[in-house]
Amino acid sequence: MSPDSPEAGTSPPDLHAPELYLNRELSQLEFNFRVLAQAKDPRVPLLERLRYLCISCTNLDEFFEIRAATVRTALQFGGPLPPDGIPPSRALELIHDKAAELVAEQYRYWNECLRPELNGAGIRILAHSSWNARQRKWLHRYFRDELLPVLSPLGLDPVHPFPRILNKSLNVVVVLEGKDAFGRNGGMAIVRAPRSLPRIIQLPPEISGGEHDFVLLSAVLTAFVDDLFTGMRVKGAYQFRVTRNSELFVDEEEVENLASALKDELASRGFRPAVRLEIAEHCPKPIVRTLLQNFGLTENAVYRINGPVNINRVTQVYDLVDRPDLKFPAFKPGAVALDAEAPFETLRQRDVLLHHPYQSFQSVLDLLQHAAHDPDVLAIKQTLYRTGKDSKIIDHLITAARNGKDVTVVVELRARFDEEANIRLADQLQEAGVQVMYGVVGYKTHAKMMLIVRREGKKLQRYVHLGTGNYHAGTARAYTDIGLMSSDPDIAADVHDIFQQLSGLAPSIKLRRMMQSPFTLHKGILMRIEREAKLARAGKGGHIIAKMNALNEASVIRALYEASQAGAKIELIVRGACCLRPGVPGVSENITVRSVVGRFLEHSRVYWFGNGGKPEIFCSSADWMERNLLRRVETCFPIIDPRLAERVYDEELANYLADNQQAWELREDGSYDHVSPAEGEMPYSAQGALLAKLCG
């Protein structure tokens, strides 16, 4: 009986059934458990393990700011249920339980394992209870000299209502007894930590006795807070932090100036509706209830913390401590086969593939810098989503404009958490004479592409760079991404047409080689999945391998289920949230899903389709998510050169499917199992193999 033939008398599974879909939010939380597992891995250098712990905490902050906030909004305003069918009220309960488990494990590991190990290595983060007399005296002086002058405690009474608390700011709620100078009875006061001071204080070696001794500002503030309330008795001081919804809402159909509207929204982002309250573990219940009431939160939004509420701030220790022996070994990115002095000659002869961070992002900068100064270059067009601070990309674009090139840049103002930086960036470019566009109303421009137009003899020649990651030199050292440089006339013409479309001057277009969202990418993926299913039914195999950051688009998941039922082999490498449920009998037995979490953040998107022995391989800026496929401008480009196609397959797909060190397999119930070498199998790390192969 074929895999897609139901037994006699039974109905085929309903592929819309909610039980076939994992919850996106819970799957995202599972990813943070995998990040935390890196912090626990004894093979990882100690300071890197500290960094992973802090990353898991920072990720959780963003999860609440965006994903949990979205669920709370759905609870308040309604809307369609997600494919998993879980209503918002139940989803928030499940989120709380899973997040509370994660938080408890983060702090258990910090208190019982990581902090003692750091102490043993001579890096001490000193708790209040461990300060000796000399340390306490120095810290008390620091409090009086540095903190006290800028603190403004606020008593809570009818004249002083509960203050507005900034998103993720460190605060202390203080319980007081006695009378103040005006004869008012004690009650509660709020003390907010000054944002202008560092959250980690390094003690002088001559005071502390150690070269790398640190104290959290939160500990100092709590220890000496009674200095603020002379004549009154402090009965208790409890750290707390509130996380708020950080999604910005701008009705683009109504606003005349998107940049101006975003500036207004950014001004209020820090005070949007609360979604989470973190509070010291021993804080009395009445105080917690008071805080919840003031923030408009319910019990399933509170997290009691056994330690500093802002433990992610300890990440600063990583940069303050010069201990190469406790960090990953330095590496030198490998060279790219591009002549920096004559890049266009190279690209006329062949395409060039870049695999970051193993190969240097400098080649992209070199290409743009050369174009900025080349007298034969007439125009440069580029998309910018995230660029980082003091970006050389921006310098080169400004130089090109000042050198008389026609420079056009599509700046995505709505890049989450980079909105303010991108508004400044757009202003800077416009002042230099660059033509700046803000993309298309209702669609974020997430595509990563650069187009250079050069006069060569009597004709114009186009050169392109396309990538899976941002034009950001910083993330190019920490994220894995694929870039392609090419002068292929069809791909270059496609990029030209997409830029024309973004400017609002082109109608619906038929691309030659590329696919794009929101027009052809979704349909193109579905068509290719269905083709593999058809091949499988005909007994001709059917094979899909795809690597991405996240997967949640329901129609793509259903198509994968149908291909699995037909007998196609489907291997997915999904770093983060995955809503597809593998291994379901009669539905997804032929689908495997793995996640790789290692030294670098897996960020490249690669799709491979067997196509009956004539494989197609694509790289893309898009995950298989609803937003990427239906509500964003994305690009997906084929790797045409057979040598480069083989390289992408080997390095990004086969390599990661072979990993038995940093890979995790998704189970049917939504949990993940760590992959270990089978008996007699050698340990293999995909990222380690690429470091050895591509780096100097």
Alpha-carbon distances of 330 from 118, 121, 691, rounded to whole Å? 21, 20, 11
Cis peptide before 13 (omega within 30 of 0): no
Q: What is the DSSP letter of 551?
A: B
Residue from 672, 555, 568, 532 nearest 624 by CA: 555
H, E, C per residue of 336-348: CCCCCCCHHHHHH
Q: What is the DSSP letter of 51?
A: H
Q: Using the Cα atoms of residue 316, residue 321, residue 326 and residue 328 in order, give the sign of their dihedral.
A: positive
Catalytic residues, by residue number, are 446
The whole-angstrom separation of Cα 13 and Cα 96 is 32
The answer on whether 59 is annotated among ligand-binding residues is yes
Assess contact for 497 and 515: CB atoms under 8 A: no
The answer on whether 522 is annotated among ligand-binding residues is no
Assess contact for 553 and 525: CB atoms under 8 A: no
User: DSSP string covering 433-472, please?
Assistant: T-EEE--BTTBEE---EEEEEEEETTEEEEEEEEESS-S-
The whole-angstrom separation of Cα 55 and Cα 35 is 8
Residue from 645, 655, 661 nearest 599 by CA: 661
Helix-helix angle 419-431:258-269, to 10 degrees: 140
The whole-angstrom separation of Cα 207 and Cα 405 is 59
The whole-angstrom separation of Cα 366 and Cα 339 is 9
694's tokens:
């591509």
The whole-angstrom separation of Cα 450 and Cα 441 is 21
Cis peptide before 683 (omega within 30 of 0): no
Residue at token pair 């001559």: 206
558's tokens:
């259903």
Sheet bearing 188-192, strands edge to edge: 154-156, 188-192, 171-177, 233-244, 274-280, 302-305
User: DSSP string covering 407-421, please?
Assistant: EEEEE-TT-TT-HHH
The answer on whether 128 is annotated among ligand-binding residues is no
The answer on whether 479 is annotated among ligand-binding residues is yes
- C-alpha 614 chain-centroid distance: 34
Neighbouring residues of 122: CB distance < 8 A, sequence distance ≥ 6: 210, 211, 212
User: DSSP string covering 594-647, please?
Assistant: EEE-SSSEE--EEEEE-GGGS-EEEEES--BSHHHHHSEEEEEEE--SHHHHHH
Strand partners, 171: 192, 240
Our CA angle for 90, 91, 96, nearest 5°, is 100
Q: Using the Cα atoms of residue 548, residue 549, residue 550 and residue 555 in order, give the sign of their dihedral.
A: negative
Q: What are phi and psi of 635, to 5 degrees?
A: -125, 150
Residue from 551, 553, 597 nearest 571 by CA: 551
Residue from 527, 541, 521 nearest 634 by CA: 521
The whole-angstrom separation of Cα 313 and Cα 58 is 9
The answer on whether 603 is annotated among ligand-binding residues is yes
Q: How many CA atoms lie within 13 A of 183 on its CB side?
A: 0
Annotated binding-site residues for Mg(2+) read 386, 416
Q: Specify binding-site residues for ATP.
A: 59, 479, 575, 603
Q: Which residues are annotated as a binding site?
A: 59, 386, 416, 479, 575, 603
